[in-house]
Amino acid sequence: MPKALIIATNGFEQDELFKPREVLLNEGVEVTLASLSRDPIQGEKQGEKGAGITPDALLTDVRAEDYDILVIPGGVANPDKLRTSDAAVQLVRDFMTANKPVAAICHGPWLLAEAEVVDGRTLTAWPSIRTDLRHAGAIVVDKEVCVDGNLVTSRKPDDLPAFNRELLGKIGVRVPETA
């Protein structure tokens, strides 16, 4: 059974964590949510307070070698806080160095830029961080999902169906029509 790691903290965009998590779980993937602490984290939905969830593990306790894919939800605050975490940045580097799939949506690619893994890679993201990604060396496109090798990126919650299909495909899971 494939294993997925989702990393998030307070301020994650609710649908960008819960919908990929649900799709993965429904397909029999073992999912672990890791965060900066074991305390419940608070999501947002289009700028308003959203649902919360309790992490399964600490970022400092998870290792890339134990998972098949890394998923990074967006929301402004989530990746902004994660990019200040040495453990989160190193985890992204470890997944990318091992050429394991990494799927980031919305503001999630901000963490990829911080980890210095986007130079020469083609990706997409929320419009307000595209300049940051270009400055980090990325080739930025505007489309619902972009796949560059092991990297899957999308722009926003509306892109989740395409994002979910691609992340499932990256770990060899049957891709349902409704993902």
Catalytically active residues are 106-107
Separation CA 138–CA 121 (nearest Å): 5
Q: What's the order of all strands across the beta sheet hosting 48-53?
A: 12-13, 41-45, 48-53
Q: Please, are residues 23 and 168 in contact by the beta-carbon 8 Å criterion?
A: yes
Number of C-alpha atoms within 13 angstroms, CB side, residue 4?
28
How does 56-90 read in b/e, with b if 16+ C-beta sit within 10 Å? eeebeebebeebbbbbbbbbbbbbbbbbebeebbe
Which residues, including other chains, have CB under 8 Å from residue 48's CB and lie 6 or more apart?
none
Q: Please, are residues 20 and 163 in contact by the beta-carbon 8 Å criterion?
A: yes
Cα–Cα distances (Å) from 108 to 1, 28, 173, 178, in that order, read 26, 24, 23, 23
